[in-house]
């Protein structure tokens, strides 16, 4: 997976945020995060839903795994971070986990965007977290 992620990151940066691999188009952001325990800097390409000029949503789906992805824990531990977007380049953001109705509404945006997210939800018994990233 790290090689695939690096390929996506390289393509994103080389093409102004457009990624033709796997048909991602301009639907990704590059999320910078620091290890919750290690402090190691990392970057992950993730599908995002932009809800306003200053707000993006991420779904911690982990492809339907029964555990949350590492980046989810890292972002909660270090909520002040940076994302790279197709439209705005590098953006400083603050991360908040959505709960209740706000989480459900955010998740509905992902399932409306892609059947894949419905499949992820069917594969796991956990409630898939949705994070809101707001421009700082």
For the segment 57-102, what is each residue's pLDDT rounded down to a tens digit? 999 999 999 999 999 999 999 999 999 999 999 999 999 999 999 9
By residue range, what is the domain housing residue 45? 2-135
pLDDT value, residue 70: 96
pLDDT value, residue 63: 96
Number of domains in the chain: 1
CB-based contact 57:111 (threshold 8 Å): no
The rounded mean pLDDT for the chain is 96
Query: Which residues fall within 8 angstroms of residue 6, CB to CB, at 6 or more apart?
Result: none
pLDDT value, residue 126: 97
Average pLDDT over residues 6-35: 97
Q: Residue 1 pLDDT > 80, yes or no?
A: no
Four-residue CA torsion sign, 100, 102, 103, 109: positive
Tell me how far apart the alpha carbons of residues 2 and 22 are, in angstroms, rounded to a whole number: 16
What CATH number does the domain containing 12 carry? 2.30.110.10
pLDDT value, residue 6: 96
Instruction: Tell me the percentage of the chain whose pLDDT exceeds 90.
Output: 99
């Amino acid at each position: 997976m790290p090689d695939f992620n690096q390929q996506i990151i390289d393509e994103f940066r080389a093409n102004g945020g457009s990624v033709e691999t796997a048909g991602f188009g301009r639907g990704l952001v590059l999320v910078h995060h620091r290890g919750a325990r290690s402090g190691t800097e990392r970057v992950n390409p993730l599908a995002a839903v932009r809800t306003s000029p200053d707000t993006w949503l991420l779904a911690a789906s982990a492809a339907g795994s029964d555990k949350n992805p590492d980046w989810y824990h890292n972002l909660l531990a270090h909520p002040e971070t940076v994302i790279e977007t197709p439209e705005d380049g590098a953006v400083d953001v603050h991360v908040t986990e959505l709960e209740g109705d706000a989480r459900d509404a955010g998740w509905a945006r992902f399932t409306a965007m892609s059947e894949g997210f419905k499949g992820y939800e069917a594969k796991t018994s956990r409630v898939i977290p949705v994070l809101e990233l707001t421009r700082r």
